[in-house]
Amino acid sequence: MLRPLVSVLSLGAVLAGAAYGLEQLKNRLYALPEYNPPINFELAQLEDVPWVEKEGWRPRILHSIHLPANRGGSESELLENIARQLEASGWVSRVRRVWKETHGTIRLACEYRRPIAMLETSGGRYIPVDKDGVRLPEVYDRVPSELGWMRIVGVQSEIPEVGTPFRGSAGDAVAAVRLAALLFDQPQIGPQISRIDVSNFDGRRDRRENHIRLWTRDGRRIDWGSAIGREMEEATVEQKLRNLVLLLKNESAQARADISTYPNTVRVYWDEQGR
């Protein structure tokens, strides 16, 4: 009676040992580089957003992803973790899909927030914002005009957290971003505007002066007028844009121009005092 039992136990031990050995062998094999390639990240489907690569944002977006030190979880858990990081990064408005290919590359298909302007904070540093007024990652000590960015200055509202938009209570920032987004979409205008100044927003410094001023890259001042949607006895936004295009087409030595009042006329001054 004991001999068959011993045989069965011996066979079980042999099978258990074999299974353990196979498992160990599998783990060693999967630890080899060819079985466990390093993970690379690639942004997918960039055909519709060429600015991500052209303007140098791709490495910044990828830098927001951090792999866990212990990758003991499942592949689906890893991909979900990466998707959450992207959504929280501030660069991404929506994650469409995250998937891993057989050679180890993880591909990321997202909708991205594009910086349209650099907004100066009260501390004199700059943060990028998108067309919806969302604060994007990174802070810059200075943004020289020659870099080509449209800068927003004179904002007194509180700066939101990364990935959060300026709200309605931040009236000066909201107005500035709305105007920046409008000008950014005008290829004849946007590249020529260096600065949007809202320091006199709603006439808080001087009610007799224009509320918003623009500055061109060649140093000319252009009085825009009130914030969009707050115009009183002013030209319409469309009329202002038309006059602005005509004004920028003509090279002139004038120091200041006013496009805020007349539908079909630009008031031109030869010095900052309005003479």
CB 232 within 8 A of CB 260: no
What's phi and psi for 131, nearest 5 deg?
-65, -20
What's phi and psi for 27, nearest 5 deg?
-65, -40
CATH number attached to the domain at 117-269: 3.40.50
Predicted structure pTM score: 0.81
Q: Residue 163: how many CB atoms within 10 A of its CB?
A: 17
Query: How far apart, in whole angstroms, are the C-alpha atoms of residue 40 and residue 203?
Result: 52
pLDDT tens digits, one per residue of 255-266: 789 999 988 888
Residue 44, token pair as written in the block:
């997918």
Q: Is the pLDDT of residue 22 over 70?
A: no
DSSP for residue 113: P
Q: Residue 268: how many CB atoms within 10 A of its CB?
A: 15
The residue assigned the tokens 């990321």 is: 108
Query: How far apart, in whole angstroms, are the C-alpha atoms of residue 167 and residue 158?
Result: 10
Q: Residue 138: how many CB atoms within 10 A of its CB?
A: 13
CB 203 within 8 A of CB 211: yes
DSSP for residue 209: S
Using DSSP's 3-state secondary structure scheme, residue 8 falls into helix
Question: Predicted confidence band at 30 (pLDDT cuts at 50, 70, 90)?
Answer: very low
Residue 134, token pair as written in the block:
């969302």
The residues of the chain that CATH labels 3.40.50 are: 117-269
Question: Predicted confidence band at 28 (pLDDT cuts at 50, 70, 90)?
Answer: low
DSSP for residue 115: P
Query: How far apart, in whole angstroms, are the C-alpha atoms of residue 38 and residue 105?
Result: 8
The residues of the chain that CATH labels 3.10.20 are: 40-112
Distance of CA 192 to the CA centre of its chain: 21
Residue 70, token pair as written in the block:
């212990």
pLDDT of 24: 58
pLDDT tens digits, one per residue of 116-127: 999 999 999 999
Beta-sheet strands, E only, within the chain: 40-43, 92-100, 105-112, 117-120, 126-129, 151-153, 193-197, 212-216, 221-225, 256-258, 267-269
CATH class name, domain 40-112: alpha beta
Query: How far apart, in whole angstroms, are the C-alpha atoms of residue 165 and residue 177?
Result: 10
The percentage of residues in the chain with a pLDDT greater than 70, rounded to a whole number, is 82
pLDDT tens digits, one per residue of 197-236: 999 999 999 998 999 999 999 889 999 999 999 988 899 9
